[in-house]
Structure 1
Amino acid sequence: MPPFKKSLLSLVAATALTVGLAACGGSDDDTVTQPPASTAPAAAAFAMTAFVPVNGVAEIVAATPDGLTLVYTSADAGTIGLVDITDPAAPKTLPTVDVRKAGVGEPTSVAITPDGKFAIVAVRMGDDVTNANPGLLRVYDLSNKSAVTWVKDITVGIGPDSIALVGSTTTLRAVVAIEDEETLANGDASIPGVRPGRIDVVGLQDLPGYGGTSTGVQSLELVTALKAAAGVNYADDPQPEFVSVRAGTNTAVVSLQENNAVALVDLSDPKTPKLTSVHGTGTVTRTGDADIKKDTEISFTDSFTGRREADAVAWLTDTVFATANEGDTAKGADGVFPGGRGFTLFDTTGKVVYEGGASTELHAVQYGHYPDSRSAAKGVEIEGVATATYGGTPFLFVGSERGGFVEVHRLDSGTTPTYVQMLPTGMSPEGLATITGRADGKQLFVTANEGDGSLNLYQFYPNGPTPNAAEPQIAAKDATIPWGALSGLTTDGTYLYAVPDNAFGQSRIWRLNAADVAKGRITIDKVIPLTLAGAKFNADAEGIAVLADGSFWVAMEGANVAGNELVKVTADGVVTQRVKLSAAIQAKFANANNTTGFEGVTASADGNTLYVALQRGFDITKPFAAVLKYDVPTDTWTSAQYPLEQHSVNPTTYWMGLSEIQLTTDGRLLLIERDKGGGEGRAINAEVKRIYSVPASAVVDGATLTKTLVRDLRKDYRWLHEKAEGMVVFKGDLWVVNDNDGGGWTRMLNTGKL
């Protein structure tokens, strides 16, 4: 794999949680200084306290002022959901609230009034490119969290998106980004459109008990100001995206994502909002430290220039705000990309104060969260930013939609980020919420994850959380070892070894060093590329077994029955033997084009016998997988049926299969059995994530195996990931890891002594 530039390696020290980063590239006016001495303990950090599946998607999330209840939007279900987090480690979901009107409506954002009495929900009302239907702010009474009631509707512009509140009681208003993206039949926005969006400032002073008179809906048009700004897109079609209000100054910053601009609004006069300025957000240039090729290899040696096109925005100080540079248009004729693939700090004059450049994506590489499938598009897609003060120190959170993570930065000077840690999230984190005012003193951070319909809750620890040896975070020793999609595990007693599936172009084996597992981390310190006759070897590796001499057997899943094979490789990764299924075994398949195949391999101590897990068996219409035995000296195959569980709701969509196999020293075969719930199948649909055992001696032709439950990962460890794919007994403990599909949360779990 192409090497990384040495100048970048200093940015990605593998072990410390507090690495100070300088900017890597950026626009010409970037100014970056090294962070000053820390005012918070160096160990101050966050730890996950709960992973919560919810009904529908979870897009935008807000917390009540007391920090005891979360409210999230679910656009696909047309609802808002509530979660009781009185005990953050044991959240309780409450009844959802249908916010549609006559069956129509898509909630896009939610905000809670400062007194916690009302939820204000922005709702799109079926607008698209041909239907200019005005949107609504729907107001709900939160007095009874288990029986939320509707209060009133306020009509606003077409396609409301983000909202934020300013003031209280007799001065309370909502600032609404009226995007009017003129959605096409395929769900994309028409760019440019013919209906310009705007900013609506909506009076809420007349809500029950407030005693004021509403200032109504006051609209701020943006076309003229956009036309006067430099470096913007589609000035005739403003599309406001996200709103952040600075309470101390009553100033709102509103991102105009597709326009590559931000607008500033003065809200200090409760009766008359004023558009004060519009600034283009410019471009980011990365030179030799980017990957812009979707080629199943991660190589940060490319260059590009990208328009920032910010999605979320958040205030850091009275004069400085952060932008999440996601991008939302297309590559231009000038070769400029959409999206800056990072974050930027601006002041209110439009000047860049700090540019994150390559740093965020480099962290994604090191922690296995970089999705190469997005390299040619917008990379990790930074979609969210949020700020708050924890333990007396301000923090900045930067959320990656495609990478499934949040970066945490300290802001010791208020404007210079110091990297602290990476928090894995559920799939596609969209909404970020900070909670710092609870009566019990617990300070929390929350993500709403649209991709798998989940919420992550993290707690702040001023002196650092206790290292979690049972769930260590995996990181490469530096960014020269990109990794992800761990689909199989094995051990030689000292190290762990893992293989990825076909997320990477060249098959490889990674060595995992668990020497620091007590400190909550495992380090990938070596990569072994696989070669055949001197050329790169590429297959869909799903399982691995290490032999006493240091060589490996790797189970490769084929595109059809005949494509399945066992591959033997040396300790240096040279392929020396390839074994296909025998004709007799192949004949057992109901369909020779069956795409289900090898999912794991394990070896006897002498290396003469291999056992292979076959994902869904010989006939995928029947509830059986299969366990195969291969006698190496005689080149003989044997097979037995393995009975599968069935999903209680939809056994066809959430079908069951085997994903890993391990042979124990007492003669049992351990098998991971899992359904398709979790991940893209939504976390709430994860039912069966279990480890069973069968006697290895029972694997004889024609047998139907009897299984015994060893671990229930869903029930006992709240395992909501779809792909529990790696398993190994290491130093007497049974470990499990999931396949993150090449970018996202890799959960490594020690389930304890076998």
Structure 2
Amino acid sequence: MKKLSTSLLIALFIMASCNNDDNANNQEPEAVVNENPATFKEIGSIKIGGEAAAEISAYDEKTKKLFTVNNSGTNQIDVIDISDPTKPTKIGKIDLTPYEGASNSVAVFDGKLAVALESTVNKQGNGKVVVFNTTDLSLIKQITVGALPDMITFSPDGKYIMTANEGEPNTDYSQDPNGSISIIEVANNYAATTLDFASLSGQAATLAKDGFRISKFAKSFAQDIEPEYVTISDDSKTAWVTLQENNGVAKVDLTSKTITAIYPLGFKDFNTADNAIDVSDKDDKITFNPWKVKGMFMPDGISHFTANNTPYFVTANEGDAREYTAYSDIKRMKDMTLDPTVFPDAATLKLETNLGRLNLITDMGDSDGDGDLDELVAFGARSFSIWNGNTGKIVYDSKNDVDKKTQELGTYDDKRSDDKGSEPEAVVAVKMGTQNILFVGLERSDAFMTYDITNPASPQYLQTVKTGDAPEGILFIPASKSPTKRSLLVVSSEGDGTIKIFQPDLK
């Protein structure tokens, strides 16, 4: 038996000595769990299918169940019992075919499961949110939202459900719906308000100067914006939404249901020692060097936390290209025309063992409009970043720590060096004891990383842990809600259809 720490004994003594106010409210006093966030280890695993079988998971405290998106030749939500997280067991499913939609994301609050469905009738048509009872899986409500809802979440108080509606075009761009966000009021019979970005189109030129991107092929500002992921503040009043392909984050006031700001995220300079990257998949080695290249952050996942009464949001800077029949914005550097004055060594740079293989954004970098590139702009920042939630200004970037740490672990995929490296996909910021802890999921390096972000300007690296293939979703279950009364981290990996459960050691 482990010895209880002094702090845990003191906490238990205080609770045992307090009055009966909690008991009068039928609430059990919660014991303090003194865990070491640098010691997460795998304790359980389950495989629910092949590729795309385990994308995103949500946890229901009432039933001790996971609800996991399964698109591996199916169209369903798998129901998994984790009352014993060392032996997760699939016990049922929710068939989604009757709802004419394919699931992209799930969220749970107080016995309600919300599922984001893109239309299987017309992908560019409106999507829907379907709400189920987590106990008997019965249908509660269907709600129409914007086109292609890609992510869904409940506000911390459970009053709102939010979706990020990506609104991607079809392959020939004959249909390109506005990107949007939907805000659903649970207590108001699930009334939905869907907001697009047309009202902010007048800011396009100003935003572009600071690194916000509207593609040259776009028919309109509102159509080109593609919301990806949502995080909502602890007081349920503010949301931050990643606009991945546009290299920005939107701020939303949930009370007034308005988009109050767009934060352009700018560029990352890879031409420094701290930001050095590996750019070739043809050199048969992993080497991190400075290159005269900039990266657009283009975040996928987003999370938030508060430190010293200041809100912050964290982004997973994956990067993403548009590749359609009518328009593609990705091309290898060796196939681009470079300005000979800026790049007098262009012939050498274009070698496949140098920059030649690196994928660039085709409509960025021609600053003087003469048809050749004055700058090389790549997809993603190969990092996570912390931003001030009030101003959108960057506070911290992890530089090249992500790729270097996974190289040390032995999971860095050199075949992705020419693209976006480890591809940070998911971020989850949580509270463990007095510490703010961040988990970062790496889609191409098959791992998650853990940092102490209690000081937002100076995060401390804690550990790197191997996961299944291509982790897509990271779910933190706090000790207070866990079936074991210990913190759990659930990682859903869409590459091999596995769900792995991790738990930290006690201090």
Aligned AA (2:71): A
Task: Give the Å deviation of 1:181.
Answer: 1.1
The aligned runs of 1:145-184 (5 Å cut-off) are 148-166=137-155, 168=157, 172-184=159-171
2:368 matched to 1:393?
Answer: no
2:361 matched to 1:332?
Answer: yes
Number of the residue aligned with 1:260: 247
- 8 Å CA contact retained: 1:44, 1:462: no
Structure 1 279/285 Cα, relative in aligned 2: closer, same or farther at 3 Å?
same
Aligned AA (2:45): F
Task: Give the Å deviation of 1:368.
Answer: 0.8
- 8 Å CA contact retained: 2:303, 2:313: yes
- 8 Å CA contact retained: 1:322, 1:345: yes
Q: Name stretches of at least 5 consecutive residues in structure 1 with no aligned partner.
A: 1-39, 206-212, 464-754
2:87 matched to 1:80?
Answer: no
Number of the residue aligned with 2:261: 277
Post-superposition CA distance 1:167-212 (Å, at most 9, x none) = 656xx22111111112439xxxx6x97322111111221xxxxxxx
- Secondary structure, aligned partner of 1:107: strand
Structure 1 203/313 Cα, relative in aligned 2: closer, same or farther at 3 Å?
same
Number of the residue aligned with 1:518: none
Number of the residue aligned with 2:311: 319
- 8 Å CA contact retained: 2:37, 2:437: no
Number of the residue aligned with 2:229: 242
State the alpha-carbon separation in 1 of the partners of residues 124 and 384 from structure 2. Answer: 34
State the alpha-carbon separation in 2 of the partners of residues 249 and 462 from structure 1. Answer: 32
- Secondary structure, aligned partner of 1:199: strand
Structure 1 460/391 Cα, relative in aligned 2: closer, same or farther at 3 Å?
farther
Task: Give the Å deviation of 1:42.
Answer: 7.3
Structure 1 252/454 Cα, relative in aligned 2: closer, same or farther at 3 Å?
same
Number of the residue aligned with 1:52: 46
Post-superposition CA distance 1:253-281 (Å, at most 9, x none) = 110001110001112x2xx3121211011
Higher mean Cα deviation, 309-318 or 222-231?
A: 222-231
State the alpha-carbon separation in 1 of the partners of residues 279 and 200 from structure 2. Answer: 33
Number of the residue aligned with 1:345: 386
State the alpha-carbon separation in 2 of the partners of residues 222 and 404 from structure 1. Answer: 35
State the alpha-carbon separation in 1 of the partners of residues 410 and 116 from structure 2. Answer: 36
Number of the residue aligned with 2:67: 71
Aligned AA (2:125): N
- 8 Å CA contact retained: 1:291, 1:375: yes
Aligned AA (1:400): L
1:97 is matched with which residue: 90, 94, 97? 94
State the alpha-carbon separation in 1 of the partners of residues 314 and 157 from structure 2. Answer: 25
Number of the residue aligned with 1:286: 270
Aligned AA (2:163): V
State the alpha-carbon separation in 1 of the partners of residues 457 and 166 from structure 2. Answer: 29
Post-superposition CA distance 1:10-32 (Å, at most 9, x none) = xxxxxxxxxxxxxxxxxxxxxxx
The aligned runs of 1:96-495 (5 Å cut-off) are 96-101=93-98, 104-113=100-109, 115=110, 117-126=111-120, 132-144=124-136, 148-166=137-155, 168=157, 172-184=159-171, 194-205=176-187, 213-214=188-189, 216-225=191-200, 227=204, 228-229=206-207, 230-234=210-214, 235-236=221-222, 237-267=224-254, 269=255, 272-287=256-271, 288=273, 289-295=276-282, 296-303=284-291, 304-317=293-306, 319-329=311-321, 330=330, 331-333=360-362, 334=365, 335-348=376-389, 349-436=391-478, 437=480, 438=482, 440-463=484-507
Structure 1 193/393 Cα, relative in aligned 2: closer, same or farther at 3 Å?
farther
State the alpha-carbon separation in 1 of the partners of residues 476 and 134 from structure 2. Answer: 20
RMSD of equivalent CA atoms: 2.2
- Secondary structure, aligned partner of 1:363: helix
The aligned runs of 1:491-640 (5 Å cut-off) are none
State the alpha-carbon separation in 2 of the partners of residues 42 and 455 from structure 1. Answer: 22
- Secondary structure, aligned partner of 2:462: strand
Task: Give the Å deviation of 1:67.
Answer: 8.2
Aligned AA (1:327): G
State the alpha-carbon separation in 1 of the partners of residues 108 and 88 from structure 2. Answer: 19
State the alpha-carbon separation in 1 of the partners of residues 424 and 147 from structure 2. Answer: 26
State the alpha-carbon separation in 2 of the partners of residues 43 and 196 from structure 1. Answer: 41
- 8 Å CA contact retained: 2:421, 2:444: yes
Task: Give the Å deviation of 1:453.
Answer: 0.3
State the alpha-carbon separation in 2 of the partners of residues 344 and 215 from structure 1. Answer: 34
Q: Which has the larger radius of gyration?
A: 1
- 8 Å CA contact retained: 1:433, 1:445: yes
Tell me the TM-score normalized by structure 2. Answer: 0.74
Task: Give the Å deviation of 1:47.
Answer: 0.9
Structure 1 294/127 Cα, relative in aligned 2: closer, same or farther at 3 Å?
farther
State the alpha-carbon separation in 2 of the partners of residues 261 and 46 from structure 1. Answer: 32
Number of the residue aligned with 1:584: none
Structure 1 461/112 Cα, relative in aligned 2: closer, same or farther at 3 Å?
same
Post-superposition CA distance 1:27-75 (Å, at most 9, x none) = xxxxxxxxxxxxx987842111112101351111111135822111123
Task: Give the Å deviation of 1:422.
Answer: 0.5
State the alpha-carbon separation in 2 of the partners of residues 265 and 141 from structure 1. Answer: 28
Structure 1 125/249 Cα, relative in aligned 2: closer, same or farther at 3 Å?
closer
Post-superposition CA distance 1:99-154 (Å, at most 9, x none) = 1226x3210011112x1x210000011266xx63211111111113xxx2222211
Aligned AA (2:151): S
- 8 Å CA contact retained: 1:61, 1:70: yes
- 8 Å CA contact retained: 1:262, 1:280: yes
- Secondary structure, aligned partner of 2:246: coil
Task: Give the Å deviation of 1:431.
Answer: 0.6
- 8 Å CA contact retained: 2:305, 2:429: yes
Structure 1 285/107 Cα, relative in aligned 2: closer, same or farther at 3 Å?
same
Structure 1 222/387 Cα, relative in aligned 2: closer, same or farther at 3 Å?
same
